[in-house]
Amino acid sequence: MLTATQKQTAQAIVNIFETGVVLGDYGNVTLIPGDTGHLTFGRSQTTLGSGNLFDLLKRYCSNPGARFGSRLAPWLARFEAIDLSLDADTRLHNTLRATADDKVMRDTQDQFFDEVYWQPAEKAATALGISSPLGVAVVYDSTVHGSWKTMRDRTTQQSGTPAALGERAWITAYVATRHAWLATNPRADLRKTVYRMDAMQRLLDQGFWGLDLPLVVRGEEVSLASLGAMPPGCYDGPHPGTRSLALQTPLLRGLDVRLVQLGLSDLGADILADGVLGQTSIKRIAEYQSSNGLPATGVADPALIARLVA
């Protein structure tokens, strides 16, 4: 059994692969051309096409404390039906981004991805006699990314079993086998992910079998400090209406900005609800003001914020 920190570290490595950050991007919405999963969302990028995104959102919406549950509930039937038109629904995408600010969603994602990905990976690793933190991380990465069983069987056929080779030699052979499969894959989106095995190979080369901290993976620091930080792109304040929102340097960021953006998105504005008050957000605020008979200042005062934030 891995320690809690070793488990967090293994998951952080895969988070970096998936969304580029140690703790994962809980509000990440992605569409990759050619990806059969279609709309993907969350810390470990679960997909519309697999049906897992429906399961995640259903679990979130069933929690009475879910801040955005009532907003997402009308879409659940379409998620269940794997309605691919959701790929282009920008209002939905903004709502999904905003849920990252809700700790209920972050906790739901943690629990969901633990059950769907981590526990099966841990079970698969144990069945093969793989017990090192780095070895389990390799299995976990393939469980999240896909094709674990195919690559496991190919490695065993080409190189031998873990029992015959020993864990370290088998994991090294597995990484090489998966690297070759990704690098020559007919799917361009999979070929681009060969960096995952490059990063794992670097950890193997450095002998970091215990995943002792600190580590640097693809330029990201994995340490006790980074593992204990607030996830990036998540906001717990300021509360809407406690300040006016205007363009300034550095750009304003926060929960109030995100909710104003979400309110504008609900009204049909072409805006990204990322919680950062940039020039596009200011322009959309001014357009809303103009269309509603207000001075088009581009500044959202508390009164305007109250109109936009449900």
* Span 277-293, average pLDDT: 98
Does 2 have pLDDT greater than 80?
A: yes
| pLDDT number for residue 27 | 95
Each residue of 81-102: pLDDT tens digit? Answer: 999 999 999 999 999 999 999 9
List, in order of start, the domains of the chain with CATH numbers: 4-227 (1.20.141.10), 255-308 (no CATH)
pLDDT digits (tens, 9 = 90+) for 205-233: 999 999 999 999 999 999 999 999 999 89
> Distance (Å, rounded) from C-alpha 298 to C-alpha 193?
41
Show the beta-strand stretches assigned E in the chain: 29-30, 40-41, 46-47, 215-217, 220-222
Nearest by Cα to 105 from 300, 52, 10, 113: 113
Return the pLDDT at 32: 82
Question: Percent of the chain scored above 90 by pLDDT?
Answer: 95
Q: pTM for this structure?
A: 0.86
Binning pLDDT at 50, 70 and 90, where does residue 1 land? confident
Give the DSSP letter string of 7-58.
Answer: HHHHHHHHHHHHHSSTT--TT-EE--TT-TT-SEETTTTEETTTSHHHHHHH
Residue 218 pLDDT: 97
Q: How far apart are CA 285 and CA 293, in angstroms?
A: 12
In single-letter form, the type of residue at position 42 comes to: G
pLDDT tier at 178, thresholds 50, 70, 90: very high
Amino acid 258: pLDDT = 97
Report strand pairing: 46-47 vs 40-41.
Answer: antiparallel
pLDDT tens for 235-274 read: 999 999 999 999 999 999 999 999 999 999 999 999 999 9
pLDDT: which is higher, 257 or 32? 257
Cα separation, 69 vs 153, in Å, equals 42
**pLDDT tops 90 at residue 19:** no
Average predicted confidence (pLDDT) for the chain: 96
Per-residue confidence band for 34, with pLDDT thresholds at 50, 70 and 90: confident
**DSSP label at 245?**
B
Query: Residue 71: what pLDDT?
Result: 94
Q: What is the pLDDT of residues 42-51, one digit of tens each?
A: 988 899 999 9
Helix and strand element counts for the chain (H, E): 17, 5
Closest CA to 143 of 134, 132, 152: 152
Q: Is the pLDDT of residue 186 over 90?
A: yes
Identify the pLDDT of residue 37.
Answer: 85
